[in-house]
Structure 1
Amino acid sequence: MNKIRRRQFAVGLIALFSLSVQAQSWQVPKPSPGLMPNPAAGKTLFAKHCAACHGTELKGSDKGPPLLHRIYEPSHHADAAFQLAAKNGVRAHHWKFGDMAPVPQVTSDDVAHITAYVRSEQRKVGID
Structure 2
Amino acid sequence: MKTFATVLLVIGGLATTAVAASDQERDQPRVNTQMHGANAGQAAPDPDTIIVPETFSAPAYFGQIAFDQQCSACHGKNAAGSTGNGPPLVHPIYEPGHHGDTAFQRAALGGVQAHHWGFGDMPPVEGITPETVTLIAAYVRELQRANGID
Q: TM-score with structure 1 length normalisation?
A: 0.71
1:3-30: CA deviations, max 9, x gaps?
99xx79xxxxxxxxxxxxxxxxxxxxxx
- The 8 Å contact of residues 37 and 116 in structure 1, kept in 2 or not, is answered as no
Aligned to 2:93: 71
Q: How many residues align?
A: 98
| Alpha-carbon offset, residue 104 of structure 1 | 2.9
Report Cα offsets for 1:11-51 as digits up to 9, x if no partner.
xxxxxxxxxxxxxxxxxxxxxxxxx9700000000000000
Bigger RCO (CA 8 Å, 6+ sep): 1
1:38-77 matches, cutoff 5 A: 38-61=59-82, 62-77=84-99
Secondary structure of the residue that 2:124 maps to in structure 1? coil
**Cα separation, 1, equivalents of 2:58 and 2:146:** 18
Q: Percent identity?
A: 52
1:63-119 deviation per Cα after TM superposition (whole angstroms, max 9, x unaligned) = 000001000000000000000101110101100000000013110000000000000
- Counterpart Cα distance in 2 of 1:83 and 1:76: 14
Which residue pairs with 1:116 in the alignment? 138
Distance in 2 of aligned mates of 1:117 and 1:127: 13
Cα distance in 1 between the residues matched to 2:91 and 2:125? 21
Unmatched runs of 5 consecutive residues or more in structure 2:
9-56
Counterpart position of 1:126: 148
Q: Indicate the residue corresponding to 1:95 in structure 2.
A: 117
Does the CA-based 8 Å contact 1:45-1:114 persist in structure 2?
A: yes
Which consecutive unaligned segments of at least 5 residues does structure 1 have?
9-35
SS in 2 for 1:57: helix
- Would you say the 8 A contact 1:88–1:101 is kept in 2? yes
- Whether the aligned pair in 2 keeps the contact of 1:37 and 1:112 (CA below 8 Å) is no
User: Quick one: distance in 1 between partners of 2:124 and 2:85?
Assistant: 15
Q: Residue 39 of structure 1 contacts residue 113 of structure 1 at CA under 8 Å; is this kept in 2?
A: yes
For the Cα contact (< 8 Å) 1:91–1:98, is it kept in 2? yes
- Normalised to the residue count of structure 2, the TM-score between the two structures is 0.61
In structure 1, how many angstroms separate the alpha carbons of the residues matched to 2:149 and 2:77? 18
Provide the C-alpha distance between the structure 1 equivalents of 2:58 and 2:74, rounded to a whole number of angstroms. 22
Question: Which one-letter code corresponds to 1:56 in the other structure?
Answer: K
Instruction: Give structure 1 regions of 4+ aligned residues with deviation exceeding 3 angstroms.
Output: none
Given the alignment of the two structures, is residue 107 of structure 1 paired with residue 125 of structure 2, yes or no? no
